[in-house]
Each structure stands twice: as structure tokens, then as C-alpha cells.
């Protein structure tokens, strides 16, 4: 009799418990009720052939990270060049770079020959991006991208597309989506590639059968070289030279758009010359002039199209110059 009395309430409790667990599970994705989530899911399904269940499963447990939005609204690169470069051209970073260079000398040489990108530039990017792997980021990439896709309207579409790309890539490679960590903006591994660039430019250079930019320095080296080569790197051409400007109107010579270089002869007539008098530049060479602020005053550089290619990795002229100078220093030791 006691069994008969308990059976029905017990059944009801189990049903309630199952419902509660399902509800908790469904709510574990903090964006599932966002008004844009359904459209994001549909777009991801259409583009990558994932099912609704696969997407919801990968997104299960996604957390909103409001501190990322705070970081995104800070003014970018407010430091002058002389402070900015000190963050990357420190002796400690250079020494780490030299150790990395020596450890992966064969891989760097192979990538330089195959892709036509100097190892100094590869070393510069690895140093500026992550200190040669010392700081790859600790944000769960899925959560970072979701926070930006659903909470940062100015670039919501871009970050939503990157989140879709992340889900597709992790399914293809068999990685748990929440196991991928990186920067607050969703960049991953040694070279800080966004997810879409992993599939577009990533190279399996260690022969593992996977593109692993988080753990394989070999894959990272080749992927950076492949990225630059595909974005227009000119083999055996310079990046630039330190310059002197003797005119009185710097705005007239400083490049407004690095994709529109001008013949060097035009700039020379306006007072721009290499700082090193031994360097000779053909008057027809297409170049730009940039200006950076040293603590003693303005510093000028004559830059070639390869400098502009570095800015496709990060649009900042200070970034590209830091990559160039750090890589040159590391490669020379």
C-alpha cells in the first residue's frame, strides 16, 4: 500500500526533475534568448551545413563577458610611438625571440624559401602578437565572440561571422568548442588568427593532419608566411628605410593611404631622403612616407608595399613598424 502511495508522487518528481534539468541546460547558453540568436543560427546552418542541434550543443554553456565590451570601448593605441615600441622591443622579448629562432631555424628557413616571406617578418609578428607564444590569451574564444556578436552592435556582423566560423572549424577538427582560448577579440594561438583566417590561411606544416595554431609553432610559422604571401608580399623586396625630411610641411608628404604609393622621385623633390646616405632608391620605386613620434621629435620612414602588407594583419602603422624592427633585431642576433 505504501508503494502505491509513493509511486505517483515519485513519478511526478522525476518528470519535474527532468524538466528542470532540461530548462537549466537550455538556459546555460546566455544568448539563446537574444533577439538575434535565431538569425545567427540560421546563417551558420546555411553557410556551413551545421544542424540546429549541433549549433545549440556547441553554444551550450556560453557566457556573456561584459568586461570585453569595456575593453573594446577603450581608445586604441593612445600611446605615442616611443612608449608603444617599448612594449615590444624590450630585451626580454628579443631574447625570447632569439631562443625561438634558434629552436625553429629549419622551419623558418623552409617557410622563407617556400612563401618568399623573410623569417625576420615572421619572427616580428610572433613577437608582437604573443611574445613567441608566452601570451596567447585566456578568454574562451566562443564566449568572447558571442559577447561581441550579440553585445557590440558596431561590429556585430563581423564577430557573428567569426563565431560561425569557429563553430564550423571546431566541428571539423573535432575540438570541443569551449576548449579554444585566445584574446578578448577572438584571436587564437601563436599568430592570433581569427577563426575564419585559420581555415583560409592556416597550414599544417608539421604533418600532424591538423592545423594547430595553439600548440604547433611550425604551423604558426607557415600560416603567417602563407597569410602575408596571399595578401601581396613581394619576394626579395624591402620593407622600408629610416628617412630624413628637410621640408617644412610634413602633411604634404605623409601617406594618407598606404595602398596608394607614389614614385620616390616625387618625394625626394619635397625633401625626403634615406637617413643612411649609402642607400640608393630608384626614383620610380613606388613608396610611402610615414611619421612616428619619438621622444626627441618626429621620425620618418620610407615604406614599400611590403609594409602595407603587414598592415593587413593589423591596420596600425605603429604595429607594422614594431613587427619590422623587432623582427630585424631578432634575426640579426
Answer whether 225's CB lies under 8 Å from 123's CB. no
Cβ burial of 332 (10 Å; 0-12, 13-18, 19+) is exposed
Contact 224, 309 (CB under 8 A): no
In a 13 Å sphere around the CA of 46, the CA atoms on its Cβ side amount to: 7
CA atoms of 125 and 224, how far apart (whole Å): 8
Rounded distance between C-alpha atoms, residue 122 and residue 309, angstroms: 13
Longest dimension (CA), the chain: 106
**186 in helix, strand or coil?**
coil
Domain boundaries in the chain?
Answer: 28-62+137-188
Say what the pLDDT of residue 22 is: 41
Give the residue numbers annotated as catalytic, written as ranges.
129
DSSP-assigned beta bridge partners for residue 245: 272
For domain 28-62+137-188, the question of CATH label 1.10.8.350 is answered with: yes
Which three-class secondary structure state does DSSP give residue 215? coil
Q: Is 188 helix (H, G, I), strand (E, B) or coil?
A: strand
Q: How many CB atoms lie within 10 A of CB 112?
A: 18
First vs last C-alpha separation in the chain:
88
What pLDDT shows up at residue 95?
A: 97
**pLDDT of res. 240:** 98
Which single residue is written with the C-alpha cell 569551449? Answer: 178
User: And the C-alpha cell for 173?
Assistant: 577538427
Cα 1 to Cα 111: distance, rounded to the nearest angstrom: 79
Residue 83's Cα: distance from chain center in Å?
A: 22
pLDDT at 79: 85
> pLDDT digit of tens for each residue in the chain (333 aa)?
333 333 344 344 333 444 444 444 444 899 999 999 999 999 999 999 999 999 999 999 999 999 999 998 876 557 899 999 999 999 999 999 999 999 999 999 999 999 999 999 999 999 999 999 999 999 999 999 999 999 999 999 999 999 999 999 999 999 999 999 999 999 999 999 999 999 999 999 999 999 999 999 999 999 999 999 999 999 999 999 999 999 999 999 999 999 999 999 999 999 999 999 999 999 999 999 999 999 999 999 999 999 999 999 999 999 999 999 999 999 999
- The DSSP string of 99-131 is HHHHHTHHHHHHHHHHH---HHHHHHHHHHHHT
DSSP state of 226: H
Residue 59 and residue 34: Cα distance in Å, rounded?
13
Backbone phi and psi for residue 27, each to the nearest 5 degrees, phi listed first: -85, -5
Amino acid at each position: 500500500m505504501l508503494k502505491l502511495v509513493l509511486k505517483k508522487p515519485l513519478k511526478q518528481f522525476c518528470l519535474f526533475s527532468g524538466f528542470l534539468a532540461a530548462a537549466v541546460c537550455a538556459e546555460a547558453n546566455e544568448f539563446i534568448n537574444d533577439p538575434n540568436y535565431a538569425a545567427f543560427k540560421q546563417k551558420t546552418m546555411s553557410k556551413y551545413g551545421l544542424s540546429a542541434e549541433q549549433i545549440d550543443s556547441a553554444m551550450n554553456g556560453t557566457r556573456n563577458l561584459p568586461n570585453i565590451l569595456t575593453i573594446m570601448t577603450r581608445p586604441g593605441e593612445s600611446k605615442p610611438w616611443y612608449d608603444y615600441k617599448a612594449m615590444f622591443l624590450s630585451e626580454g622579448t628579443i631574447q625570447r625571440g632569439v631562443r625561438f629562432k634558434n629552436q625553429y631555424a629549419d622551419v623558418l628557413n623552409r617557410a622563407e624559401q617556400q612563401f618568399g616571406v623573410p623569417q625576420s617578418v615572421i619572427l616580428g609578428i610572433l613577437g608582437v602578437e604573443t611574445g613567441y607564444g608566452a601570451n596567447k590569451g585566456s578568454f574562451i574564444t566562443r564566449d568572447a565572440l558571442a559577447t561581441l556578436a550579440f553585445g557590440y552592435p558596431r561590429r556585430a556582423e563581423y564577430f557573428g561571422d567569426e563565431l560561425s566560423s569557429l563553430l564550423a572549424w571546431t566541428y571539423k577538427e573535432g575540438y570541443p568548442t569551449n576548449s579554444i582560448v585566445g584574446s578578448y577579440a577572438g584571436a587564437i594561438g601563436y599568430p592570433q588568427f581569427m577563426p575564419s583566417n585559420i581555415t583560409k590561411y592556416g597550414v599544417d606544416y608539421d604533418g600532424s593532419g591538423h592545423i594547430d595554431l595553439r600548440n604547433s609553432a611550425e604551423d604558426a610559422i607557415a600560416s603567417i608566411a602563407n597569410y602575408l604571401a596571399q595578401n601581396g608580399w613581394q619576394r626579395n623586396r624591402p620593407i622600408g628605410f629610416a628617412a630624413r625630411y628637410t621640408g617644412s610641411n610634413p602633411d604634404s608628404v605623409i601617406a594618407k593611404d598606404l595602398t596608394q604609393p607614389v614614385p620616390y622621385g616625387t618625394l625626394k623633390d619635397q625633401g625626403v631622403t634615406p637617413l643612411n646616405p649609402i642607400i640608393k632608391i630608384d626614383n620610380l620605386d613606388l613608396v610611402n612616407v610615414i611619421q612616428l613620434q619619438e621622444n626627441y621629435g618626429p621620425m620618418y620612414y620610407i615604406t614599400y608595399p611590403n609594409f602595407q602588407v603587414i598592415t593587413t594583419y593589423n591596420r596600425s602603422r605603429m604595429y607594422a613598424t614594431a613587427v619590422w624592427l623587432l623582427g630585424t633585431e631578432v634575426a640579426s642576433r
